[in-house]
Amino acid sequence: MDASVQNFLYRNPQFYELAYPEPNDDTPRMCRRMFSRYLTVPPRSILDLGCGTARDLHSLSRECLDCWGVDYLPEAIEFAKRQRPHLHLQRGDARTVRLGRTFDVIMSMGSAFMYALTDSDVARTLDTFVTHSHSGTLLIIDINNAASYLGSDNFKQTSELRVSSPGFTAEALSTYDFDRRRQLLVRRRKWKIQGQGEVEDFCEYRMFFPAELEHLLNERGFRVAGMFDNMQLQDTPLCGPRLYVPAVFQTSQR
């Protein structure tokens, strides 16, 4: 993640789960479906790159004790350590972090991979995936589905977010645009936060098309096992706004 990213929720992770609640544990449940489908045995170790508040990792640690999380933002890691002290958590850059070991599962959820903005960033992040993989490692990537914007009305120039809770009441208006030459989605967001006034965010995200992502993963030795636009892992024409990609590491082709 580039240091120029401005995101109120990243700087204040105590509000992140209020803004994006997941009461039904949807993301970890999807991961468990992938474990059952693409692993021969349940995972004994999990690495979450871009773990944020480590909510997903906390859920998965019920069955897998060896869970590691890495995030670029010190605020996120400090918060996660206070809330989930049983996890192995540390600050790190997905482009450069090296933990000296491999894992049965590597996760890159919540569009974390989309912060690899340049071709160099993408290559270095993929190298991190490879470095922490052994034969049979399952990689799970969750990103925006660039293909869903083709010939559909999925792309919205604006979106609204409202949060009302005892600890955090706010409204946010996001506007979106594309930097087509750089293949980036650009989001500008204005918050109106009770007791704090207005706050502005700015984020850029690298967009990946399904065939492009499959090619990048295949080059590094990951066999893409499926592509889904839903958490139930049902085969569809991939018209949905999200792209969930399980890929199994075989061997590096480099």
How many CB atoms are located within 10 Å of the residue 254 CB?
10
- Shared domain for 171 and 95, answered yes or no, is no
Separation CA 110–CA 27 (nearest Å): 9
> Residue 239 — very low, low, confident or very high, per pLDDT cuts 50/70/90?
very high
Residue 93 lies in a domain: yes
pLDDT at 4 over 60: no
The DSSP symbol for 220 reads T
Cα–chain-centroid distance for residue 30? Answer: 13
Parent domain of 191: 149-204
pLDDT at 167 over 80: no
Residue 126 lies in a domain: yes
Write down the pTM of the prediction: 0.92
Question: Helix axis angle, 210-219 relative to 119-131, nearest 10°?
Answer: 50
For residue 192, what pLDDT is reported?
92
Separation CA 217–CA 114 (nearest Å): 14
pLDDT in tens, 57-109: 999 999 999 999 999 999 999 999 999 999 999 999 999 999 999 999 999 99
H/E run at residue 219: helix 210-219
**Residue 24 belongs to a domain with what CATH number?**
3.40.50.150
Residue 183 lies in a domain: yes
Q: What is the mean pLDDT of residues 227-236?
A: 97
How many CB atoms are located within 10 Å of the residue 253 CB?
10
pLDDT in tens, 214-229: 999 999 999 999 999 9
Domain count, the chain: 2
- Shared domain for 32 and 100, answered yes or no, is yes
